[in-house]
Structure 1
């Protein structure tokens, strides 16, 4: 049985992706800062597919030490990690000139650092096995920055750049790397806004895309997939 590790696991896209991999029959490793929320989701995943293992560990993925402890625990509990989904992220509106001194570091440690560190942690094992798949959840801000969210755009540009480097380093070793580039997606970032869900991408759409890419033959890789709302960006 194969194993998938998902960051940002209990909310939004990460939650939907975790459910999709459980339905697909993969063991899943999930983390959250909130222990009660994490354990409740673990039980939900086990009820969705009683045949899989669910490794759940309390961790703040934006803190390197906690992130790597989660990665090590998942590997020890489940074995070789076949799929890593980097879905941890945060959106913080604001101008670079007006933001607080901590904003840059916080967004860097949430939107970019976890992908870099998990790549370094799992990459060599995947090379040795000549298999594996990294999915990095980027953003349309990776392609075109938002003037009202400067640092977010910077970190997402960097994430897409990292993804391209990862792909170049991995492609000769049989390891796949895919950038998922969503537009306006109905996650907690929109919880205070009044929006029509029928005008937005849903987390389940992102999960469906990832599962279908995962199912492709060993010789096929989707480099990048852009998924935008049908009526256009909100």
Structure 2
């Protein structure tokens, strides 16, 4: 029996890229899933496919535009109601805009702050309160190598990822006395929809499945081990 059997994980941005790879990996390990993304049809299809390939798990989903605070509040309330003993939170959803701070619009700024920072902050706050009470749980924040190596051509994106790094450190310190683990996953150039249409060979990238494998490894370690952070870069360097 897998260590994750009968555990439940919430994954944001679950229908594409890293989120999709993580959902498939955790399903294989016997984890029940709560999936959140914007596209209702994609969520429904993913639920059907996962429950067909791994019939021993339960999959539920919530349609959410993470740039809409009302919808995000609805997601946190839904999770609190149906999964007060949530075991795993994976803050994966994110958006990348290649625009400098000086040239960005207010809309660029607001959208990136809402999705890349407010979402993991508010979800973590809500879920962590229950994890603290339950004295168990594991939060994963997927940030970016931009949180260590600033990208001025993607200014606010970089700032949000630095904020996610800070959030991770604070959460880890707050939750450590209660036995709750917090891990930051820090990918370099990863072959997701952001690179759609590229002629660069796949072996120049980190693959979404690599991120999923890293999370699975963290989740299957001993109870006494916490991986603070994992940096995963392409072997030939970032693109």
| TM-score bracket for this pair, using the shorter chain length | over 0.9
Q: Is the 8 A contact 1:55 1:78 kept in 2?
A: no
Q: Is the 8 A contact 2:84 2:130 kept in 1?
A: no
Cα deviation for residue 38 of structure 1 reads 1.1
Q: What residue is the counterpart of 1:168 in the other structure? A: 173
Distance verdict in 2 for CA 1:161–1:112, change over 3 Å: same
Name the CA distance, whole Å, in 2 between partners of 1:167 and 1:32.
26
Q: What residue is the counterpart of 2:223 in the other structure? A: 218
Paired residues in the alignment total: 234
Name the CA distance, whole Å, in 1 between partners of 2:186 and 2:114.
19
Report whether the alignment pairs 1:137 with 2:129: no
Which residue, out of 100, 107, 119, partners 1:102?
107
Normalized against structure 2, the TM-score is what? 0.94
Q: Which runs of 4+ in 1 moved over 6 A?
A: none
Q: What residue is the counterpart of 2:151 in the other structure? A: 146
Q: Is the 8 A contact 1:178 1:221 kept in 2?
A: yes
Name the CA distance, whole Å, in 1 between partners of 2:130 and 2:148.
31
Q: Is the 8 A contact 1:31 1:38 kept in 2?
A: yes
Cα deviation for residue 210 of structure 1 reads 0.1
Q: What residue is the counterpart of 1:190 in the other structure? A: 195
Q: What residue is the counterpart of 1:12 in the other structure? A: 17
Name the CA distance, whole Å, in 1 between partners of 2:53 and 2:119.
28
Cα deviation for residue 75 of structure 1 reads 4.2
Name the CA distance, whole Å, in 2 between partners of 1:151 and 1:77.
34
Cα deviation for residue 117 of structure 1 reads 0.5
Q: Match of 1:84, SS?
A: strand
Map residues 37-186 of structure 1 onto 2, 5 A cutoff. 37-186=42-191
Any unmatched runs of 5+ in structure 1? none
CA RMSD between the two structures: 1.2
Name the CA distance, whole Å, in 2 between partners of 1:83 and 1:92.
28
Any unmatched runs of 5+ in structure 2? 1-5
Cα deviation for residue 78 of structure 1 reads 4.5
